[in-house]
Amino acid sequence: MTSRELKNDVYDAIAGITKAFSNPNRLEILDLLSNGEKSVEEVAAQTAISFANASQHLQVLKSARLVRLRKEGNKVIYTLANPKVLAAWQAMKQLAEAVEPGIGLTLRQYRRARQTDQSISLSALDQTRYLLLDVRPAGEYDYGHLPGALSIPVDELELRLTELPKGKTIVAYCRGAYCTMADAAVLLLRAKGYNAVRLAESPVDSASAA
Protein backbone atom coordinates (compact mmCIF):
# COMPACT_ATOMS: atom_id res chain seq x y z
CA MET A 1 0.00 0.00 0.00
CA THR A 2 1.35 3.40 -0.95
CA SER A 3 1.07 6.55 1.15
CA ARG A 4 -1.57 7.87 -1.26
CA GLU A 5 -3.59 4.65 -1.03
CA LEU A 6 -3.42 4.81 2.76
CA LYS A 7 -4.79 8.36 2.81
CA ASN A 8 -7.49 7.55 0.28
CA ASP A 9 -8.70 4.58 2.33
CA VAL A 10 -8.76 6.54 5.59
CA TYR A 11 -10.51 9.61 4.19
CA ASP A 12 -12.98 7.45 2.27
CA ALA A 13 -13.88 5.66 5.50
CA ILE A 14 -14.39 8.95 7.34
CA ALA A 15 -16.42 10.36 4.44
CA GLY A 16 -18.65 7.28 4.57
CA ILE A 17 -19.50 8.07 8.19
CA THR A 18 -20.09 11.77 7.55
CA LYS A 19 -22.51 10.91 4.72
CA ALA A 20 -24.79 9.38 7.34
CA PHE A 21 -25.01 12.80 9.01
CA SER A 22 -25.85 14.59 5.76
CA ASN A 23 -29.63 14.36 5.97
CA PRO A 24 -31.91 16.55 8.13
CA ASN A 25 -34.16 13.62 9.10
CA ARG A 26 -31.18 11.59 10.28
CA LEU A 27 -29.86 14.54 12.30
CA GLU A 28 -33.22 14.88 14.02
CA ILE A 29 -33.21 11.14 14.72
CA LEU A 30 -29.77 11.39 16.34
CA ASP A 31 -31.01 14.33 18.43
CA LEU A 32 -34.04 12.27 19.45
CA LEU A 33 -31.97 9.19 20.35
CA SER A 34 -29.63 11.33 22.47
CA ASN A 35 -32.56 11.50 24.91
CA GLY A 36 -32.97 7.73 25.11
CA GLU A 37 -33.72 4.65 23.04
CA LYS A 38 -36.73 4.61 20.72
CA SER A 39 -38.65 2.11 18.64
CA VAL A 40 -39.01 2.70 14.91
CA GLU A 41 -42.66 3.61 15.55
CA GLU A 42 -41.66 6.24 18.12
CA VAL A 43 -39.02 7.69 15.82
CA ALA A 44 -41.54 7.96 12.99
CA ALA A 45 -44.19 9.57 15.19
CA GLN A 46 -41.83 12.07 16.82
CA THR A 47 -40.10 13.13 13.62
CA ALA A 48 -43.28 13.30 11.52
CA ILE A 49 -41.97 10.94 8.84
CA SER A 50 -43.39 7.63 7.66
CA PHE A 51 -42.52 4.33 9.32
CA ALA A 52 -40.79 3.21 6.10
CA ASN A 53 -38.66 6.36 5.91
CA ALA A 54 -37.79 6.17 9.61
CA SER A 55 -36.71 2.56 9.20
CA GLN A 56 -34.61 3.41 6.16
CA HIS A 57 -32.85 6.31 7.90
CA LEU A 58 -32.15 4.16 10.94
CA GLN A 59 -30.64 1.49 8.71
CA VAL A 60 -28.30 4.09 7.18
CA LEU A 61 -27.23 5.19 10.66
CA LYS A 62 -26.75 1.57 11.69
CA SER A 63 -24.62 0.83 8.62
CA ALA A 64 -22.42 3.77 9.60
CA ARG A 65 -22.21 2.29 13.14
CA LEU A 66 -23.79 5.41 14.66
CA VAL A 67 -26.74 3.53 16.18
CA ARG A 68 -27.39 -0.02 17.32
CA LEU A 69 -30.56 -2.00 17.73
CA ARG A 70 -32.15 -4.61 19.93
CA LYS A 71 -35.43 -6.47 19.54
CA GLU A 72 -38.26 -6.43 22.05
CA GLY A 73 -40.93 -8.81 20.80
CA ASN A 74 -41.99 -7.51 17.42
CA LYS A 75 -40.48 -4.09 18.06
CA VAL A 76 -37.04 -2.96 16.95
CA ILE A 77 -35.49 -0.53 19.45
CA TYR A 78 -32.64 1.81 18.47
CA THR A 79 -30.12 3.70 20.58
CA LEU A 80 -26.91 5.64 19.94
CA ALA A 81 -24.01 3.27 19.39
CA ASN A 82 -21.72 4.92 21.97
CA PRO A 83 -21.09 8.25 23.76
CA LYS A 84 -18.79 9.46 20.98
CA VAL A 85 -21.78 9.66 18.62
CA LEU A 86 -23.45 12.07 21.02
CA ALA A 87 -20.21 14.04 21.34
CA ALA A 88 -19.95 14.29 17.55
CA TRP A 89 -23.57 15.46 17.25
CA GLN A 90 -23.07 18.07 19.98
CA ALA A 91 -19.89 19.32 18.30
CA MET A 92 -21.67 19.51 14.94
CA LYS A 93 -24.47 21.61 16.45
CA GLN A 94 -21.98 23.96 18.09
CA LEU A 95 -20.07 24.36 14.82
CA ALA A 96 -23.25 24.99 12.84
CA GLU A 97 -24.46 27.60 15.32
CA ALA A 98 -21.05 29.31 15.20
CA VAL A 99 -20.76 29.54 11.41
CA GLU A 100 -24.43 29.75 10.35
CA PRO A 101 -26.14 32.81 11.90
CA GLY A 102 -29.47 31.76 10.39
CA ILE A 103 -29.87 29.03 13.01
CA GLY A 104 -29.84 31.43 15.93
CA LEU A 105 -32.01 33.89 14.03
CA THR A 106 -34.62 31.23 13.31
CA LEU A 107 -34.72 30.14 16.96
CA ARG A 108 -35.06 33.73 18.18
CA GLN A 109 -37.80 34.55 15.69
CA TYR A 110 -39.76 31.43 16.62
CA ARG A 111 -39.61 32.15 20.35
CA ARG A 112 -40.14 35.90 20.13
CA ALA A 113 -43.33 35.31 18.15
CA ARG A 114 -44.58 33.12 21.01
CA GLN A 115 -43.03 35.22 23.79
CA THR A 116 -41.05 32.22 25.04
CA ASP A 117 -37.63 33.70 24.30
CA GLN A 118 -36.95 34.36 27.99
CA SER A 119 -34.99 31.53 29.62
CA ILE A 120 -33.08 30.82 32.80
CA SER A 121 -29.86 28.88 33.31
CA LEU A 122 -29.39 25.97 35.70
CA SER A 123 -26.71 27.92 37.56
CA ALA A 124 -29.27 30.62 38.41
CA LEU A 125 -31.92 28.28 39.81
CA ASP A 126 -32.95 28.55 43.44
CA GLN A 127 -35.17 25.54 44.19
CA THR A 128 -36.99 27.45 46.92
CA ARG A 129 -38.35 29.74 44.20
CA TYR A 130 -38.34 27.53 41.11
CA LEU A 131 -39.74 24.12 40.21
CA LEU A 132 -38.02 22.19 37.42
CA LEU A 133 -40.51 20.53 35.09
CA ASP A 134 -39.45 17.86 32.59
CA VAL A 135 -42.07 17.82 29.81
CA ARG A 136 -40.50 15.07 27.69
CA PRO A 137 -42.10 11.61 27.40
CA ALA A 138 -41.81 9.59 30.61
CA GLY A 139 -39.31 7.15 29.07
CA GLU A 140 -36.87 9.97 28.39
CA TYR A 141 -37.21 11.19 31.97
CA ASP A 142 -36.43 7.65 33.17
CA TYR A 143 -33.40 7.51 30.85
CA GLY A 144 -31.94 10.64 32.43
CA HIS A 145 -33.20 13.87 33.96
CA LEU A 146 -32.05 16.89 35.91
CA PRO A 147 -31.91 16.46 39.71
CA GLY A 148 -35.11 17.48 41.45
CA ALA A 149 -37.16 17.71 38.24
CA LEU A 150 -40.81 16.68 38.20
CA SER A 151 -41.95 14.64 35.19
CA ILE A 152 -45.17 15.67 33.46
CA PRO A 153 -45.14 15.01 29.69
CA VAL A 154 -46.44 18.00 27.76
CA ASP A 155 -49.43 16.09 26.40
CA GLU A 156 -50.54 15.33 30.00
CA LEU A 157 -49.83 18.77 31.41
CA GLU A 158 -53.30 20.32 31.21
CA LEU A 159 -54.83 17.38 33.08
CA ARG A 160 -52.16 17.43 35.81
CA LEU A 161 -51.93 21.14 36.61
CA THR A 162 -53.00 20.54 40.21
CA GLU A 163 -49.63 18.84 40.81
CA LEU A 164 -47.87 22.17 40.29
CA PRO A 165 -47.59 24.84 43.01
CA LYS A 166 -48.79 28.33 42.15
CA GLY A 167 -46.25 29.89 44.52
CA LYS A 168 -43.19 28.93 42.46
CA THR A 169 -41.97 29.80 38.99
CA ILE A 170 -42.23 26.70 36.82
CA VAL A 171 -39.08 26.14 34.75
CA ALA A 172 -39.87 23.80 31.86
CA TYR A 173 -37.32 21.91 29.83
CA CYS A 174 -37.33 19.30 27.07
CA ARG A 175 -34.68 18.05 24.63
CA GLY A 176 -32.72 21.25 24.15
CA ALA A 177 -32.69 24.36 21.98
CA TYR A 178 -34.33 22.74 18.94
CA CYS A 179 -37.16 21.16 20.94
CA THR A 180 -40.47 23.04 21.22
CA MET A 181 -42.24 20.99 23.89
CA ALA A 182 -41.02 23.34 26.63
CA ASP A 183 -42.32 26.33 24.65
CA ALA A 184 -45.75 24.69 24.43
CA ALA A 185 -45.66 23.96 28.16
CA VAL A 186 -44.73 27.55 29.05
CA LEU A 187 -47.56 28.93 26.92
CA LEU A 188 -50.08 26.56 28.50
CA LEU A 189 -48.90 27.30 32.05
CA ARG A 190 -49.04 31.05 31.53
CA ALA A 191 -52.56 30.76 30.10
CA LYS A 192 -53.56 28.92 33.30
CA GLY A 193 -52.14 31.58 35.58
CA TYR A 194 -48.73 30.14 36.35
CA ASN A 195 -45.44 32.02 36.19
CA ALA A 196 -43.43 29.89 33.74
CA VAL A 197 -40.17 30.12 31.81
CA ARG A 198 -37.98 27.85 29.71
CA LEU A 199 -34.73 26.35 30.96
CA ALA A 200 -31.74 27.22 28.80
CA GLU A 201 -30.21 23.73 29.11
CA SER A 202 -31.39 20.14 28.73
CA PRO A 203 -30.30 16.91 30.46
CA VAL A 204 -28.18 16.07 27.41
CA ASP A 205 -26.48 19.49 27.51
CA SER A 206 -25.85 19.10 31.23
CA ALA A 207 -24.37 15.60 30.82
CA SER A 208 -22.14 16.75 27.96
CA ALA A 209 -20.77 19.63 30.02
CA ALA A 210 -20.05 17.39 33.03
Is residue 174 part of the annotated active site? The answer reads yes
CB 179 within 8 A of CB 110: no
- DSSP-assigned letter for residue 176: S
Q: How far apart are CA 104 and CA 113, in angstroms?
A: 14
Q: How far apart are CA 147 and CA 130, in angstroms?
A: 13
Contacts of residue 68, Cβ cutoff 8 Å, sequence gap at least 6: 62, 78, 79, 80, 81
Catalytic residue among 174, 177, 182, 186: 174
Compute the half-sphere exposure of residue 16: CA atoms within 13 Å on the CB side of its CA.
11
CB 172 within 8 A of CB 189: yes
CB 34 within 8 A of CB 86: yes
Backbone angles phi, psi at 37, to 5 degrees: -65, 150
Contacts of residue 185, Cβ cutoff 8 Å, sequence gap at least 6: 133, 135, 154, 157, 172, 174, 196
Q: Which residues are catalytic?
A: 174
